[in-house]
A and B are shown apart, each in its own frame.
Chain A
């Protein structure tokens, strides 16, 4: 059974760096790709970036300069780091396993972790 679970600090101060972890089970990161997606309260969804099964990454151009995605395959974990946080980065952050056919779509999602940016 595929499962993903996000974890993180909950509250981050403006201008600081956000670090999130996605722990997966029931799948191997060396044969599956994982994306991060976020959703501000009451708003729509924004894809942030992906780490491919080969370890390569792609990012949303709107936040590329602030974002880094990495992984530890031995621990089945994917990491997100985003710097220079502002209040508009307040959102629910999800990790999701990509689908099996071409393109970046999301077959399985974690429950999400809420990040609030506030002093």
Chain B
């Protein structure tokens, strides 16, 4: 199985700040990576697929980048509604998820 290591596990940031979450795969996943946002008590929602493609309806302040084994999710101009947990997921092989990042407001 491909292991996904996500960092940081938790993050505190101020409104308007830019936030970056990282994900490292145990082997090359050739941009087969998605990012999800999960708010408490809700199901995950797709943000990014194919490492850098924005899902329909997702605000443009979210962006994804990376290649090989290293990927990142960037949130520009943090809004209060962005408080959530974020998960990366590789799908180059059978799906595996990162451990998650809990984003809070400072």
Contact = CB atoms under 8 A, between A and B. Distances in A.
**A and B part of one assembly:** yes
Interface of A: 35, 44-47, 58, 60-61, 94, 99, 101-112
Interface stretch (B17-25, B42-50, B68-76): B42-50
14 contacts: A35-B95, A44-B97, A45-B87, A45-B89, A61-B94, A99-B34, A99-B49, A103-B91, A103-B92, A105-B46, A105-B91, A106-B89, A109-B44, A112-B43
Contacts, number: 57
Contacts of B32: 102-103, 105
A106 to B, nearest CB: 6
B97 A47 contact: yes
A46 B44 CA distance: 12
A104 B91 contact: yes
A80 to B, nearest CB: 16
Contacts of B100: 44-45
A26 to B, nearest CB: 14
A58 B100 CA distance: 25
Given A44-B99, A101-B50, A109 B45 contact: yes
Contacts of A107: 46, 49, 55
Contacts of A108: 46
Contacts of B92: 103
B67 interface: no
Nearest to B92: A103
Q: Tell which of A46, A102, A103 has the most Cβ of chain B within 10 Å.
A: A103
